[in-house]
Amino acid sequence: MWTEQDNQLTQRFKFRDFKQAFAFMTEVAVVAEELNHHPWWSNSCNRVEIRLTTHDAGNTVTEKDHLLAQRISALAERCNA
């Protein structure tokens, strides 16, 4: 579940292994490029943390962030299916 705090949407994802986490990140990268809205993220082993904020809007959460979050959640669900 996405959490909105400190002008960011944040979520942590857990995958079966590093390979699955990296595949998820690759799919997120494609969507981020498509939407021209890029996340901050970190990856360690099978975990990925993503933070979304809109820099053009003064580093606040906007509809762009919510749209990307929805798309990322759908990808995570598919990866963990």
pLDDT classification of 76: cutoffs 50, 70, 90: very high
Query: What's the confidence (pLDDT) of residue 79?
Result: 83
Query: What's the confidence (pLDDT) of residue 40?
Result: 97
d(CA 20, CA 62): 29
Q: Smallest Cα–Cα separation from 52: which of 3, 14, 17?
A: 3
The domains located in the chain, with CATH, are 3-79 (3.30.1360.20)
Query: What's the confidence (pLDDT) of residue 61?
Result: 96
pLDDT classification of 81: cutoffs 50, 70, 90: low
Structure tokens given for 46: 């099978």
Convert the pLDDT of each residue in 29-69 to its tens digit.
Answer: 999 999 999 999 999 999 999 999 999 898 999 999 999 99
12 contacts: CB under 8 Å, gap ≥ 6:
47, 48, 49, 50
